[in-house]
Amino acid sequence: MATLPNKFNNRSITKKREKRMKSEQVEKSLRSAKASLAVEGLHVTENEEALVKARLNGEITESEFKQKVMDLINE
Protein backbone atom coordinates (compact mmCIF):
# COMPACT_ATOMS: atom_id res chain seq x y z
CA MET A 1 0.00 0.00 0.00
CA ALA A 2 1.41 3.39 -0.98
CA THR A 3 1.93 6.05 1.65
CA LEU A 4 0.56 9.52 1.27
CA PRO A 5 2.88 12.47 0.74
CA ASN A 6 3.63 14.49 3.88
CA LYS A 7 1.19 17.25 3.01
CA PHE A 8 -1.61 14.66 3.13
CA ASN A 9 -0.36 12.87 6.23
CA ASN A 10 -3.09 12.68 8.89
CA ARG A 11 -0.71 13.77 11.61
CA SER A 12 0.27 16.83 9.58
CA ILE A 13 -3.37 17.73 8.97
CA THR A 14 -4.20 17.25 12.65
CA LYS A 15 -1.33 19.50 13.77
CA LYS A 16 -2.41 22.23 11.35
CA ARG A 17 -6.00 21.96 12.57
CA GLU A 18 -4.86 22.09 16.22
CA LYS A 19 -2.71 25.16 15.51
CA ARG A 20 -5.61 26.89 13.75
CA MET A 21 -7.98 26.00 16.58
CA LYS A 22 -5.50 27.27 19.17
CA SER A 23 -5.10 30.51 17.22
CA GLU A 24 -8.87 30.90 17.08
CA GLN A 25 -9.12 30.25 20.83
CA VAL A 26 -6.41 32.83 21.54
CA GLU A 27 -8.29 35.41 19.46
CA LYS A 28 -11.60 34.57 21.14
CA SER A 29 -10.03 34.81 24.61
CA LEU A 30 -8.41 38.15 23.79
CA ARG A 31 -11.68 39.59 22.47
CA SER A 32 -13.43 38.48 25.66
CA ALA A 33 -10.73 39.95 27.91
CA LYS A 34 -10.69 43.22 25.97
CA ALA A 35 -14.48 43.49 26.21
CA SER A 36 -14.36 42.90 29.97
CA LEU A 37 -11.69 45.57 30.38
CA ALA A 38 -13.61 48.01 28.17
CA VAL A 39 -16.65 47.70 30.46
CA GLU A 40 -14.39 48.95 33.25
CA GLY A 41 -13.12 51.80 31.06
CA LEU A 42 -9.74 50.18 30.39
CA HIS A 43 -8.28 49.56 26.97
CA VAL A 44 -5.55 47.23 25.66
CA THR A 45 -2.87 48.78 23.46
CA GLU A 46 -1.56 47.09 20.32
CA ASN A 47 1.76 46.47 22.10
CA GLU A 48 0.01 44.85 25.07
CA GLU A 49 -2.12 42.67 22.80
CA ALA A 50 0.93 41.58 20.78
CA LEU A 51 2.74 40.70 23.99
CA VAL A 52 -0.14 38.56 25.27
CA LYS A 53 -0.47 36.82 21.90
CA ALA A 54 3.27 36.06 21.87
CA ARG A 55 2.98 34.43 25.29
CA LEU A 56 -0.18 32.47 24.52
CA ASN A 57 1.29 31.24 21.23
CA GLY A 58 4.44 30.04 22.98
CA GLU A 59 6.69 32.52 21.20
CA ILE A 60 8.12 33.80 24.49
CA THR A 61 8.57 32.21 27.92
CA GLU A 62 6.70 33.20 31.06
CA SER A 63 9.78 34.94 32.45
CA GLU A 64 10.28 36.86 29.19
CA PHE A 65 6.61 37.85 29.30
CA LYS A 66 6.91 39.13 32.87
CA GLN A 67 10.05 41.10 32.03
CA LYS A 68 8.40 42.70 29.00
CA VAL A 69 5.35 43.59 31.10
CA MET A 70 7.63 45.29 33.62
CA ASP A 71 9.34 47.12 30.76
CA LEU A 72 5.95 48.39 29.52
CA ILE A 73 4.99 49.51 33.03
CA ASN A 74 8.24 51.44 33.41
CA GLU A 75 8.00 53.25 30.06
Q: What digits encode the pLDDT tens for the residues 21-50?
A: 788 899 999 999 999 999 999 999 999 999
- Do the Cβ atoms of 6 and 12 come closer than 8 Å? yes
Domain chopping of the chain, boundaries: 43-75
Does residue 52 surpass a pLDDT of 70? yes
Q: How far is CA 32 from CA 6, 52, 53, in A?
A: 37, 13, 14
- Burial of 43 per CB tally in 10 Å (0-12, 13-18, 19+): exposed
Query: Taking the model in full, what pTM does it have?
Result: 0.69
Q: What is the pLDDT of residue 16?
A: 74
